Amino acid sequence: MLLVALSGEALRVVVVTGGPCSGKTSTIDSLEGVTRVPEAATLYHRAGGQLPFSHNQPDRDLLWEAWLVELKISLENAAIARGGLVVCDRGVLDSRAYVDDWPRLLELLDTSQQELEARYDAVVHLDVAPPDAYSLGNAARTESYTQAVALGEQTLASWRGPIPMTRVRNTGSFNDKIRTARSAVLAASKITSHRRGRKVVQVPPSVIIARANRLATAADLDRVYPNSLRALRRIQDARRALVVT
């Protein structure tokens, strides 16, 4: 694992998170002059990547989240290297809402809760849209409305801790909500950092696959490795274009 120390003094990293269809991407799209980090799962699926484990694979959900965390870290590092205000469409702690055994995931990733928390300065959490506005128009979104609300609450719980957090509820119109969230992001960019420096893990695509497949069978690797590796390489090769200022 390669560690690069960054001071973080003039850098702010803000996460915009929440359940499915909560307005995260719309909030980030409303910001100007920031370095944006796209949502890893959506990006991966749009690049042609498959869910890299079969349905009968033990620990399938755990491995998938390990895969996503590695990809999130890599994308975030590309943005952090550019400096300025970095705004992430979800962050690595979102994965805590999607696994039953978070300590085991941390062990698989060879990291700690504290190291992951130290990556961010603030969090803006958006509640899931009302039922009549809920949409499945996203390549990575498969949840029913009830499941989405539950994931939103789990995501909120996943980020509770030392990182300052603002919760944006469904008050007024959708545009009102986005304006409120946008203001929260800009306000968060001015807070005093809770971090005392930063360590960033640099992870190439081949290592992402090796780590996330640590418990996978050889048959699974043979079946999905070529397609998934190509998708990850496309993402890695295009990181500068994907993280738009």
Give pLDDT tens digits for 61-108. 787 888 788 888 888 888 888 878 999 999 999 999 989 999 988 887
**Residue 19 burial (10 A CB sphere; 0-12, 13-18, 19+):** buried
Distances (CA, A) of 111 to 45, 73, 102, 103, 201: 26, 12, 11, 10, 10
Better-predicted residue by pLDDT, 119 or 245: 119
- CA 137 from chain centre, in angstroms, equals 19
User: Which of 53-57, 150-154, 160-164, 184-188 shows the lowest per-residue confidence on average (mean pLDDT)?
Assistant: 53-57
pLDDT confidence tier of residue 207, bands split at 50, 70 and 90: low
**Crossing angle for the helix pair 218-237 and 60-80, to the nearest 10 degrees:** 20
Are 200 and 111 in contact by the 8 Å Cβ rule? The answer is no
Are 122 and 166 in contact by the 8 Å Cβ rule? The answer is yes
| Domain 12-242 CATH (choose: 3.30.365.10, 3.40.50.300, 3.40.1000.10, 3.90.420.10) | 3.40.50.300
Checking if the pLDDT of 159 tops 80, the result is yes
Checking if the pLDDT of 237 tops 50, the result is yes
Give pLDDT tens digits for 8-18. 444 689 999 99
Give pLDDT tens digits for 111-124. 899 999 999 999 99
Residue spans per domain, the chain: 12-242
Give pLDDT tens digits for 176-192. 999 999 999 999 887 65
Q: Can you give the pLDDT at residue 61?
A: 79
Better-predicted residue by pLDDT, 224 or 37: 37
Q: Can you give the pLDDT at residue 63?
A: 76
E strand map for 127-178 = 165-168
pLDDT confidence tier of residue 231, bands split at 50, 70 and 90: low
